[in-house]
Amino acid sequence: MAADMILYWSSRSPFVRKVMVAAHELGLEHRIRTVPTLVSATVPNFEHLSVNPLGRIPTLVLEDGTTLFDSQPIIEYLNEFSRGWLVPPAGPARLRAMRWHALATGLLEVLVAWLSERSRAIPHNAAIAGYERKARATLNLLEQEAADIAGAPFSMGHIAIGVALGYLDFRYSSLNWREGRPKLAAWGEVFAARPSAKATVPVDDRK
């Protein structure tokens, strides 16, 4: 089947991974051509800026040329495009999925900001302590809710949580996030065993 969407992509980006997990879950991975794209908050990628003025990935370009920015609307589009089941249409199920999605995507934002701070020549220690505090507090809340997470139908909220846990293993192994969080750790294993998760494991190559 010919690819009819273009995804500006990196094997390291957790936000891109959210989109790729959704694409695999929905059976859309063959409809998307991935374009390896190097982005950075400090070094401009002028070619990519002409596609997305924010200079960010993921960026999805549809067949009619429409450009979508940000992992959430991209996943919502893919779900609608395929009449999928990752975004509950209404009611408490939707609220729960969106709430978990926002919580775990917020955790990813904290982790990415933390990574950038710790790679500075002179890191701001108070900022690093703040990121660690927020990351640990969010993980504690996810542990409290782990039984509900495990029991609820798989949704975009689950994708964000699973990707955040995978990103912790990828970049923050020293945080030992599983310690004291057995229920979340067990759910993390279940997520990691899904074919969509196995097909999208982060890799630290150039892009």
Establish if 157 lies at the interface with ligand GSH (CB under 6 A): no
Q: How far is the CB of 48 from ligand GSH (least distance, A)?
A: 9
Q: How far is the CB of 180 from ligand GSH (least distance, A)?
A: 28
CA 41 from chain centre, in angstroms, equals 18
Nearer to ligand GSH, 70 or 117 (CB): 70
Query: What Cα–Cα distance (Å) separates residue 53 from each residue in 11, 18, 69, 160?
Result: 21, 21, 10, 25
Establish if 13 lies at the interface with ligand GSH (CB under 6 A): yes
Contact 132, 107 (CB under 8 A): no
Q: How far is the CB of 45 from ligand GSH (least distance, A)?
A: 9
Nearer to ligand GSH, 115 or 199 (CB): 115
Query: What Cα–Cα distance (Å) separates residue 8 from each residue in 75, 108, 172, 177, 179?
Result: 14, 19, 25, 30, 35
Sheet of 32-36, strand order: 32-36, 5-9, 59-61, 67-69
Establish if 137 lies at the interface with ligand GSH (CB under 6 A): no
Q: How far is the CB of 183 from ligand GSH (least distance, A)?
A: 26
Which one, of 58, 46, 49, lies nearest residue 8 by Cα? Answer: 58
Nearer to ligand GSH, 18 or 96 (CB): 18
Contact 3, 30 (CB under 8 A): yes
User: What residues from 168 to 187 belong to the interface with ligand GSH (CB under 6 A)?
Assistant: none
Residue nearest to ligand GSH (CB): 56
User: What residues from 22 to 81 belong to the interface with ligand GSH (CB under 6 A)?
Assistant: 39-41, 55-58, 70-71
Query: Which 8-state DSSP code applies to residue 206?
Result: -
Question: ω before 58 within 30° of 0 (cis)?
Answer: yes
Q: Kindly list the residues in this chain that would bind ligand GSH in the complex (CB under 6 A).
A: 13, 15, 39-41, 55-58, 70-71, 112
